[in-house]
Amino acid sequence: MNKSQITSSIFLSLILIVSVVLNTTASYIMLFKVKKKELMHLFIISLSTTNLLESIVGITPQIIFSEQSLLRKTPLCIFSGFAVFGFAVTSITHMSAFSLIRTVIVKYPIYYFQRYKAFHYKAALILSCYVYGFSWATFPFIGWSKYEVDLDKKRCSLDWKLSQSESPSFFLAILIFCNILPGTVIALGLYFSTKIIHRRKACKTRQDKNKTLDILEMEYLKVNFLSAILYFVIWTPYAIVSILTLLKITVPAYLVTVSALFSKLSTISNVLINCFINKSFQKHLLNLRLIRFLANTNFKRRLKNHSSTSCHFFKLEQK
């Protein structure tokens, strides 16, 4: 195993471990610690589950077979490509939906809280993300492009070599509907949210009783901003590869590898943005038994060290 393979394996292993820990923790807190589950809470549970499965299905085979190159397609390899592609598009769709929902909350808070309490609204919105994501993943099975060994021969992915006549139109479609369109929705959500919030802040009729609302709006704005930045950082490499492919420019294998590695970061970034930077979530996190046990153990160790140091200095003073 050469240095690049070792580096890649370490990087993927870290992402897998962190993704499993963070997404499992977020799902557990949302399911068992949050009593009143709103639409956003259910979306976070769904997104965390999606990212958890994406990281396990997508990263584990790459770590196991890091020393080998794929020479042929196998049913397991094709299924892995299908699952990873489906979960990735589903995750992107969740992010777009998050942006839209936050914008609606900021713009029409009363309408949101009146309309989206019903269970069928929540179920339909979440289900639509999975239907959209796995519809795109299913198209290669019914003749619109196909799954093939990736250019760096590390995984099964899409037909980047355009060996099938339908592949160019499929790549153009996923570039538009699975990359550019979600990015546009996220960017517009950030723009309109920022515009609405700053316009309200500039209004002199705002009273002190609206301070809670101000804090909530700024939290939404911060999350929208971070989501937009990380979306474009993580998914732009794949957009570049898609554009080069459509222009029939030879794509270097290392660029495909870098794009795949960057995309895996979304399994961590999503849960960090939507959960771990949230103060309410942090309170639930700090109340977990394991966290409290670790905190108490660390406190006792520091107290013991402090006591030992104090006794040492006391003996020196006596001498």
Give the whole-angstrom CA distance, residue 313 versus residue 220: 51
Q: Which helix (H) or strand (E) holds 166?
A: none
Return phi, psi of residue 154, to 5°: -110, -15
Could you tell me which residue, 111 or 224, shows the higher pLDDT? 224
- Structural domain includes residue 305: no
Comparing CA positions, the residue from 234, 67, 82 lying closest to residue 154 is 67
Cβ count near 99 (within 10 Å)? 25
Q: Which region among 24-28, 58-62, 67-71, 298-302 has the lowest average model confidence (pLDDT)?
A: 67-71
Name the residue range of residue 246's domain: 3-290
Q: Show the tokens assigned to 105.
A: 């909350």
Transcribe 168-213 into DSSP letters.
Answer: HHHHHHHHIIIIIHHHHHHHHHHHHHHHHHHHHHH-TT--GGGHHH
Helix 75-107 vs helix 181-202: angle between axes, to the nearest 10 degrees?
20
User: Does any domain span residue 314?
Assistant: no
Provide the whole-model pTM. 0.87
In the chain, the number of structural domains is 1
What is the percent of the chain where pLDDT is above 90? 42
Structure tokens at 119: 């269970």
Instruction: Establish if 304 belongs to a structural domain.
Output: no
pLDDT tens column, 60-95: 887 876 666 655 678 888 898 999 999 999 999 999
The whole-number pLDDT of residue 286 equals: 87
- pLDDT bin (cut points 50, 70, 90) of residue 314 is very low
307 within some domain: no
Q: Tell me, what's the pLDDT at 70?
A: 59
- CA-based R_g, the chain, Å: 24
245 in a structural domain: yes
The CATH number given to whatever domain includes residue 158 is 1.20.1070.10
Asked if residue 297 belongs to a domain, the reply is no
Residue 295 belongs to some domain of the structure:
no
Q: How confident is the model at residue 175 (pLDDT cuts 50, 70, 90)?
A: very high
Mean pLDDT, all residues of the chain: 84
Which DSSP state fits 148?
E
pLDDT of amino acid 294: 75
Tell me whether residue 319 is in a domain: no
pLDDT tens digits for range 181-216: 999 999 999 999 888 888 877 775 555 555 655 667
| 146-159 tens-digit pLDDT | 999 888 787 888 99
Return the pLDDT at 316: 44
